Amino acid sequence: MKSSFIIIISLFLFASGTRSVAQGCVAIKSVGGLCTMDHGVGSDADGKKWLLNINNRYFNSYKHFVGDVEQKQRVDQGTEVINHAYTMDIAVTHTLSKRWSISADLPIISNTRSSLYEHGGKERHTTASFGIGDIRFTGYYWLLDPVKNPRGNIQLGMGLKLPTGDYKYTDRFYTATPGTTVIGPVDQSIQLGDGGTGITTEMNAYYNLNHKLSLYGNFYYLINPREQNGTSTARGGTPSATAVANGSDVMSVPDQMMLRAGFNYMVKRFNFALGVREECLPVHDLIGGSLGFRRPGYIVSLEPGITYSFNKFNVYAYVPVAITRNRTQSMADKITTDLTGKYTQGDAAFADYALNIGLSLKF
């Protein structure tokens, strides 16, 4: 009874989490998009010691927001920024005991970004990035004995995110002078990494109400102590006086957060899921400074999903659909507001939905 109470309270906290921290131009990078519903990963009761999970995530962001107000004129005028972001997360988990497991995650990223303002303002051009992202290593522990508590459990995770993704990726930018181009770092939203060594914290929970209906919750927070990575935001040019004054002339290394909660309903080999998902990029980091260029804010989405299970395989699809998008005031915005006496708040482009499709295999 005590263990059930702990799990239910944890799930309630997942579902009622506040938005006191803030996310930005694109949804947070390389944290997958799912709970595979394979709740027994931490248990070796079935004799399987390994789990391979391959998650493919794609979204197209092009709708601009200042705060929670959509800037519809950007699309009408053709001045919107269009990002296409694709990530394949390849994660391998090894069970050490019925409670302990370790995992390694390798993201492979392909991004494109189309805009006017980055290329002289007269013609639309595209920049791109491709390569591996920031690799993560994580250790997991089930709070309750999985064998004695099959109805529900809570899993804690802590790990290390390494700066393996290129955070100074460059491409060609056109200038206002016809025929003239420069090479410079691509926008922060399509960089392959953030340049920081981070600490990842996770909590995953599930509770079976009966043999068909269950609850789930996932929480992920990335702590990035490094404040800035030194990458210029001037796209091969000279930073503006305003950017230098408010510190946005170099890229920040922000924290990241994801929160999910919902329920599953089993019908034979199919698992139907419906939940709420929030992705955040905060204004202020938990550890270290928060200066530098970032687009803070958050996305709250309704997340339906379906999983098909067959022997050792799970095949799944989750499609979080945005219901709230908010680009909050960044530290650079606040500094400019203090310097000029005029309230300043930048914009960010968000997607309507994201597509997560993948499979998991136990062996």
Query: The domain that contains 69 carries what CATH number?
Result: 2.40.160.40
| Mean pLDDT (whole number) for 174-183 | 92
Q: What is the mean pLDDT of the chain?
A: 90
Q: What is the pLDDT of residue 178?
A: 87
Q: What is the pLDDT of residue 18?
A: 37
SS3 117: helix
Q: Domain span at residue 114?
A: 2-362
The pLDDT of residue 340 is above 60: yes
Q: How many CB atoms lie within 10 A of CB 298?
A: 25
Q: What is the pLDDT of residue 21?
A: 33
Q: How many domains does the structure of the chain reveal? A: 1
| Mean pLDDT (whole number) for 47-68 | 94
The pLDDT of residue 231 is above 70: yes
Q: How many CB atoms lie within 10 A of CB 182?
A: 13
- pLDDT tens digit sequence for 268-301: 999 999 999 999 999 999 999 999 999 999 999 9
Q: What is the pLDDT of residue 311?
A: 87
| Mean pLDDT (whole number) for 188-213 | 96
CA distance 169 to 147: 47
| Mean pLDDT (whole number) for 33-37 | 42
| Mean pLDDT (whole number) for 246-258 | 97
226 φ, ψ to 5°? Answer: -65, 135
- Residue 26: which pLDDT band, with cuts at 50, 70 and 90? very low
Least confident window among 44-53, 156-165, 213-222, 252-261: 44-53
Q: Could you give the count of Cα atoms lying within 13 Å of 173 in the half-sphere of its Cβ? A: 23
241 φ, ψ to 5°? Answer: -60, -35
The pLDDT of residue 36 is above 50: no
Q: What is the pLDDT of residue 34?
A: 44
